[in-house]
Structure 1
Amino acid sequence: MSTSRRIRRALVLTAAIAGTGLAGAGIASAHVTANVYGSQPEKGGYGAIVLRVPNEEEQAGTTKLKVTFPEGTELTSARTRPVPGWNAEISTRGDVVTAITWTARPGNEIPAGHTSYQEFEFVAGPMPENTDTLTLAAAQTYSDGTVVNWDQPATGGEEPEHPAPVVELAEPSGDGHGAGAAEHSEAEPGTQASGSDTTARWLGGAGLAVGALGLGVGAGATLRARKRASA
């Protein structure tokens, strides 16, 4: 294969990888969702939950997110992972965690339009033992003062207009996974347990591979040119 064809193939591969990343960002869910990247939270244990918040207003950006835990949940502990440009506040009633609010500092809101989103991670527990799901009512505030409440339960198998984020709770396994999620998140504050981060690492590795291929092609072409010149 000629050098020019190899270079063209490398460029095509790079473009394809970039396109995949853009497509992945573009299909972010159109409403606030609760995601688990790792062990599923167990009943009676602790778990790491990531709220994915897409912006849906064309002329306004998202400046605040508040998630409220349902009555009777009785969470006694919650910790948030720092989000650059955002402040987090944990509300309590006595020893019970009732809500978490993230507020953007000036210039750090989720941009206006339909192409951007942000993820907010927290670790909380112990999870309720008498239910299979944890429903999190979320309120999304925009820079123009609009508030969208994502708090409607799914009924009859149909998704409502503003569904509440829901987390599935696993049965206790007895192997410590419930508490381990909290310990893992607190022990590694420099990591980001999110799908976007996983994708970024994959794309970064692919980019390095493409770069290495390009360097190899260039080096081979240089060596062949030198041999022809010496001959």
Structure 2
Amino acid sequence: MSAPRIALRRAGALAALTTASVLLAAGAASAHVTVHPESYAKGATDGVLTFRVPNEEDHAYTSKVQVFLPTDHPVLGVLVHPEDGWTAKVTTTKLKTPVKTDDGTITEAASEITFTGGRITPGQYEDFDVAFGQLPEDTGRLVFKTLQTYSDGKVVRWIEQPASGDDEPENPAPALKLTADDASPAAATAEAASTTTTKASDSTARGLGVAGLVVGVLGLAAAVFALLRNRSSARS
């Protein structure tokens, strides 16, 4: 085989490898268990949290999801939306420090929600909606540690939290930021809509960035091909 053809094949292989790496990196960045919206107002009432659980495995489906709610800063009035094929069990715990509300003193709150019976197959995700009556006012962040169990017995523990100034850990726990904004339901709804719009814009930007890198790689491969073809013609 001639040198120009060998070089051309190497250039094509490099382009394909670079393209695949870019696409895999873009997919891996969105494969964590997350909570939406990303923020709510402190003390917000009558809202909904959505836990998005993707399947990261190629040959197993997700068969169980356990979401642990903090009890040191409890989420009050938890209600679970029925999801097709899934059964939800809510576990409550007696609070060390009761919470006083306009409706009385709360001594128990949800500490765990377990979803079973359904399937999240490879390449898919499931959204689990959890309604709440009131979010805490005495903290700026809620962490929802989550366990994801697969049909082959593997358990992924989404429980890690980044240290101050550190990069995101490998298995980060879903976290909700609580802001000092107006805690009315209308404000919470507007914030959720704004977050959704921002996420859509970010996703579009990432998609365009990936597309640009792919086009650049293919252009480089085409330039190499043209250069080698010209050299081959000059030598003939």
TM-score normalised to the size of structure 2?
A: 0.57
- For residues 1-231 of structure 1, the aligned pairs below 5 Å read 29-36=30-37, 40-46=39-45, 47-94=47-94, 95-105=108-118, 109-112=119-122, 115-155=123-163, 156-173=165-182, 175-177=184-186
CA distance in 2, matches of 1:174, 1:54: 30
- Equivalent AA in structure 2 for residue 30 of structure 1: A
CA distance in 1, matches of 2:43, 2:149: 32
Change (3 A) 1:31 1:174: closer
Identity score, percent: 36
CA contact (8 A) 1:44 1:125 kept: no
- Structure 2 gaps of 5+ residues are 1-26, 95-107, 190-195, 201-236
CA contact (8 A) 1:64 1:102 kept: yes
- Residue 52 of structure 2: SS of its match in structure 1? strand
Aligned length: 151
CA distance in 1, matches of 2:178, 2:158: 20
Shift of 1:28: 8.2
CA distance in 2, matches of 1:174, 1:119: 25
CA distance in 1, matches of 2:28, 2:166: 23
Q: For structure 1, which segment, 161-170 or 70-79, has the greater mean C-alpha deviation from structure 2 after superposition?
A: 70-79
CA contact (8 A) 2:43 2:183 kept: no
CA distance in 2, matches of 1:77, 1:140: 24
Shift of 1:176: 4.3
Shift of 1:175: 4.0
Change (3 A) 1:91 1:61: same
As a proportion of its length, which structure holds more strand?
Answer: 2
CA distance in 2, matches of 1:83, 1:174: 28
Change (3 A) 1:52 1:132: same
- Residue 58 of structure 2: SS of its match in structure 1? coil
- Equivalent AA in structure 1 for residue 68 of structure 2: T
CA contact (8 A) 1:78 1:97 kept: yes
Larger Rg: 2
CA distance in 2, matches of 1:28, 1:160: 12
Query: How far does the alpha carbon of each residue in 1:176-212 deviate from its partner, in whole angstroms, 9 at most, with x for none?
Result: 447x86xxxxxxxxxxxx99xx9xxxxxxxxxxxxxx
Moved over 4 A (4+): none
CA contact (8 A) 1:138 1:164 kept: yes
CA distance in 2, matches of 1:49, 1:176: 13
